[in-house]
Structure 1
Amino acid sequence: NSYPSKVDACANIHNDHISRKLSFKYEDVKACYETFPFDKDNATRTIETLKSIFANFYSFLDQARDPPTKGFTYRSINVLSELDSLLKNNYTTDIQFMAFSFDQQFSMYSIVKHNGTQQIKVFNDSIDSKNIDCLVTHIDDESAMDVIIKYANDSIRTSRDLGVRFNNALASLTLQGGKISLSQQFTSRILLPKNPTISYTLDCDGKINKITRGWKITARNDSIFNNFTDSTSYWNNICINQPLQASSGLSYESKRELDEYEPTLEEGKLIIDAYIIRFYTLRDFGVAVISTESIDDKYASNNDLLIDLLSTINQGFQSFANMGIKKVVLDLTNNGGGAAFIAHYITQLLFRDIRNFPFDVKITEAAKLVIEQSTAKNISSEFDINGSYISEKTNTSFTNVSDFIGNNYYIRGGLKIRYSEKGFNSDEQIISEFLGNISKPLPWTAENLIILTNGFCGSACAHITQRLAEVNVKTVAVGGLSNKPLSFACFAGGFVVTSDTFFQYLKNLSLLNNDLMPKQFPLATTISFTVNEAYSIKNPDEVLEFSFRPSNYKLYYDEKSIRDPSKLWIQAAALIENKP
């Protein structure tokens, strides 16, 4: 079926694209999204697929029911019951696609004054630069702090720590794709905002000014316009599920649309740019700004390029050692995850004998079948035990599938749940051999290093920071809420796959139509889910995903350090113990 409306808002958007309009109208995007009436059958089939995925393959389904760990702010949840309850709501439309970006060309940050008072200020305003650094007292006539905290609590999912979510709502800098960019979620969104405008009350040196900002709306990917000209073609070519195409698995990739914002450093000399790591020297210490978030496909598909990248990363750290640098700041601010291999490489480069965190997999009949078939057919995935895991008990490959599946039951969410034996990621030996061939061990101990983050350091990033913290590398977190501890990492969970990739696995295993397996979504829908869970090495029963780990030290942004990270590097380096 197709669902054209009387005034075709989807066609309006396409026409504006042809006319090279700089922004689409909020009313058109909202109406285009709302063009397609609610279909109970599609909704029911979608919910059933989600329930099957979560029940059979999601590692944290059961532990999510437990009360929050002290220090975290979130609601414990019965995922399957919540999915059922969604069908009880009255919907009029199949709304909430994520085809467009919404940006107010306005960004904010937070400072904490010496008396502990926390304030929101203007980071950047592309429309009126006179507003930069003005105090934001109110948003839509409510306290600015209250509005940002509520938005962070209700609408941001990056961490179980509210302080980290608060940081994500506001502006901060991030290294991604080889460039420094600006990250924020309150004024830059991918879900349709509730209202077409937001008002901000500003206090600029005692002068009160109220401004109203709409949304600059652009397509997240212009190629979408090759697929539709009106609502009928939008439905047929974008909403209806297309043939299977696998997207990359084995990582959590948080692809974010960011505005480039190269900072001016008051101090610091860039000595090596390794694309995903920048190496700076300043005063008597070194800084490695690390991005785990994305490596281009060219590295994944070209072994020589990947080896060059890894060698350049090693060269950066070796340069510090050759200069006699005794203190190194590892800045992993604003990392949404990425390549597990890169995370493991960095930890083993810094500490040669380190073991990365072990994983296990939730065992259900469906998961067991996928593990058996993946291993038997040697199809590379998170479920192929030969390709993915080394036994924690024996430090060798698992003998067979039964050896991996084991017979372990843990109480999670008040229920007895079965999990596999624990295994280390099998890239450990490859990395060890590679490092042995290219370099001598680095000279530093934990006392020479410090980790700096804003708490948004997830998945692969968390596996660097949390692992180094377990060998006593100190951590410092920036921002968050005044006088509250702040996590230095988040969602340390494990390997994440997308449903697109997962259904492609099932197809490759000839399991797509198996009764135990989830059915494909009726419409073009994608969800990411964690298929294994990481454990602490220091505390072997501790599941990292639900572990509150506050930083050893805490800093706050000010008007200079929010724009110039060298200010934070200097403060972090000062916290490293000076050893003779």
Structure 2
Amino acid sequence: MKIIQVYSTFNIYFILFVALLATIVSSSKSNNADPESQCRIVSKAFDNEKLVEYDTAKKCIESFPFDAKFADDTIDAVSHFMSSYYVFLDQAKEEPPKGFTYQPVDLIKELNSLREKTFKSDYGFITALRNTIFKLKDGHTRFIDICYQSFIYDQNLTLYSVVTTDKEKKQKQIIKIFDDKLDSSNNDCEVTEIEGKPAIQAIIDFANDNIAYSKDLGVRFNMALAPSIKIFSQLFTLREDLPETSTITYNLKCPKKSYKLTRKWSVAFSSAAFENFCFDTRNNSAKITSRDKSTGSTSSGFYLVNDGKVGVAVITDESTNSIFGLADGLRQLTKRGAEKLILDMSNNVGGDPTVPLFTSLLLFPSSRSRQPNFFPTSININNFTIPIIKKNFDTNSSDSDDYNPFSFLSFPSGEPFKNVNEFIGPRKNLTSGLHLNPLTSDEVQLLKSTSPFRWTSDEMIILTNGFCISACALAALYLSEFYKIKTIAVGGLLDTSMSFSTFPGGLGTSENVIADEAGDNNIEVPGGNSLLLAIREAYDFNKNNITTGVLEYLFKPADYRLYYNESNARDPSFLWVDAANILNKKP
């Protein structure tokens, strides 16, 4: 099998879990649980860039005392923003559509129930709050506390799931060790049990109970394991929340022996200066915004398989600085004679809302004059936002935010909004009229300067491991829905349909950005902590431009399925060859 690398670009796409936040020290500390004394060892170790023991970290984290007033104020703020701006608040109460796996949640009711509880520590309260929000299974929505969530708990090994075929040609799914950093002789040993439970079931339970970033269990299962990469991945053995136990015991079945491996958690801090995070005053804490992002490099690459007849475009993000590399890479594939195209959108971390539209128009330029040419969205509006919307319209505001009608185009015409009422719309609960994101000037210019590519929709196929999030999900769904490009999902659970994308909610942002844009100064999340939430929802629609459902709650399984094995989990080119065979309609 010959793989030819054609073109590669590297860009920095910033994703944030963390920003400078919070103090959590109450003025009513007890001498027996003084955080500064309990955390002295942790602070010293992290200042010297060394690891700490699990028990030491646990004592430190749990030494911050529970403050009932702080908890009440936090619940007040979270409830206010979620009830006023969270677009899926009512739908979250409903039973999941067939294909999704999660429990309905009456979020405001459950948040209020936390007021009736007394917690042993501040960490106990924060964890309960985060877990309540995580029940939504919405990757755009979560509560962040930098002091606690900046600890990293690492097993120094990663697991993966492979599907094997026995002599009777029956398929079986097992868990194996993908990479053991401490003992490479364990690599590819089968994991038969985890903590006395069958390994597959242990991962499924973890994906159900501890992973919140997809409504599809198969996608969450992939997120728990390797070879998913970047954010939201390898979550079983690399965690940001304090594990319940100091070790995990694995029953291993290796070629030469079977034995139990008990592995401790190694604990590090993901940012420097521990005291600056955990012992600052609340008033000095910095707030996270939707524009703050932590560094993490991603790369896009372009390759040829099947003797150069099939091109592969590996698209790892949807950021605006990636569009030039995408266009140039596709040109290179065309020049090298690629007759068909695989769009590998696995491990795609999403990005900017205009890039999915740009991608579809780049591949299908003949649709540039068609209206509408992408999924419409809407936002919830309220008494805070209506005056802002009217002011923005009346003053011809140039601010780019969610409450400025000039930031959007009307659906389905693709024209600017004529008046405020057209933007607000007639829908119930003061939900805004449907709107579209206009392309940026760079995107418009690049489309004009790029000649059409040769590939038709029948000559393309999309490949993902389900980890195609947010803007990537919108791009993949649109190419599948309206251009009928076939899709392949990789991994997940054996013989269970799986999504090829996840949380296409529309847009997520932070509560302080919302407050600033909406003029909502009534309340804020205390202590510098931050709430991220989905404030815009995207809709599927039919040829008559009638919306047919909220994309976040529509189960869209892939057309084809591939599973990981010992080869393709480590070298994606094997998956590309399998995808090329499907594209060429080979068995």
The TM-score normalised by the length of structure 2 is 0.83
Secondary structure in 2 matching 1:532: strand
User: What's the CA shift for 1:363?
Assistant: 3.0
* Cα distance in 2 between the residues matched to 1:167 and 1:75: 20
Match of 2:335 among 322, 338, 345: 322
Confirm whether residue 25 of structure 1 aligns to residue 53 of structure 2.
Answer: yes
* Cα distance in 2 between the residues matched to 1:198 and 1:343: 41
Confirm whether residue 44 of structure 1 aligns to residue 72 of structure 2.
Answer: yes
Partner of 1:495: 507
* Cα distance in 1 between the residues matched to 2:509 and 2:75: 18
Secondary structure in 1 matching 2:222: helix
User: What's the CA shift for 1:493?
Assistant: 0.7
Q: Is contact 1:163-1:480 (8 Å) kept?
A: yes
* Cα distance in 2 between the residues matched to 1:193 and 1:142: 17
Confirm whether residue 556 of structure 1 aligns to residue 584 of structure 2.
Answer: no
Instruction: Assess, with a 3 A threshold, how the Cα gap between structure 1 residues 25 and 482 changes in structure 2: closer, same or farther.
Output: same
Match of 1:534 among 530, 533, 538: 538
Amino acid at match of 1:524: G
Confirm whether residue 405 of structure 1 aligns to residue 437 of structure 2.
Answer: no
Match of 2:376 among 358, 365, 369: 358
Secondary structure in 1 matching 2:527: coil
Partner of 2:172: 117
Match of 1:386 among 396, 400, 406: 406
Amino acid at match of 1:484: T
Match of 1:221 among 257, 260, 271: 271
Match of 2:576 among 562, 569, 573: 569
Deviation per CA, 1:350-384, whole angstroms, max 9, x where unpaired? Answer: 12226121111123323434433555454321222
Contiguous gaps of at least 5 residues in structure 2: 1-25, 128-147
Q: Is contact 1:374-1:381 (8 Å) kept?
A: no
Confirm whether residue 288 of structure 1 aligns to residue 313 of structure 2.
Answer: yes
* Cα distance in 2 between the residues matched to 1:71 and 1:206: 41
Q: Is contact 2:425-2:432 (8 Å) kept?
A: yes
Partner of 1:343: 356
Q: Is contact 1:497-1:529 (8 Å) kept?
A: yes
Partner of 1:412: none
Secondary structure in 2 matching 1:113: strand
Match of 1:424 among 436, 442, 462: 436
Partner of 2:261: 211
Q: Is contact 2:289-2:509 (8 Å) kept?
A: no
The TM-score normalised by the length of structure 1 is 0.84
Amino acid at match of 1:459: S
Partner of 1:279: 302
Secondary structure in 2 matching 1:536: strand
* Cα distance in 1 between the residues matched to 2:323 and 2:49: 42
Match of 1:434 among 433, 446, 456: 446
User: What's the CA shift for 1:563?
Assistant: 0.4
Secondary structure in 2 matching 1:209: strand
User: What's the CA shift for 1:543?
Assistant: 1.0
Secondary structure in 2 matching 1:13: helix
- Percentage of pairs with the same residue: 34
Return structure 1 stretches of 4+ with deviation > 6 angstroms: none
Partner of 2:95: 67
User: What's the CA shift for 1:241?
Assistant: 6.2
* Cα distance in 1 between the residues matched to 2:391 and 2:274: 40
* Cα distance in 2 between the residues matched to 1:208 and 1:221: 39
What is the 5 A alignment of 1:144-293?
144-174=199-229, 183-205=233-255, 207-222=257-272, 224-225=273-274, 227=276, 234-237=278-281, 242=285, 244=287, 246-248=289-291, 276-283=299-306, 284-292=309-317
* Cα distance in 2 between the residues matched to 1:26 and 1:226: 19
Count of residues in correspondence between the two structures: 517
Deviation per CA, 1:474-510, whole angstroms, max 9, x where unpaired? Answer: 000011111100110111110110124334435xxxx
Amino acid at match of 1:15: K
User: What's the CA shift for 1:512?
Assistant: 4.5
Secondary structure in 1 matching 2:354: helix
Q: Is contact 1:344-1:428 (8 Å) kept?
A: no
Amino acid at match of 1:104: Q
* Cα distance in 2 between the residues matched to 1:66 and 1:135: 39
Amino acid at match of 2:262: T
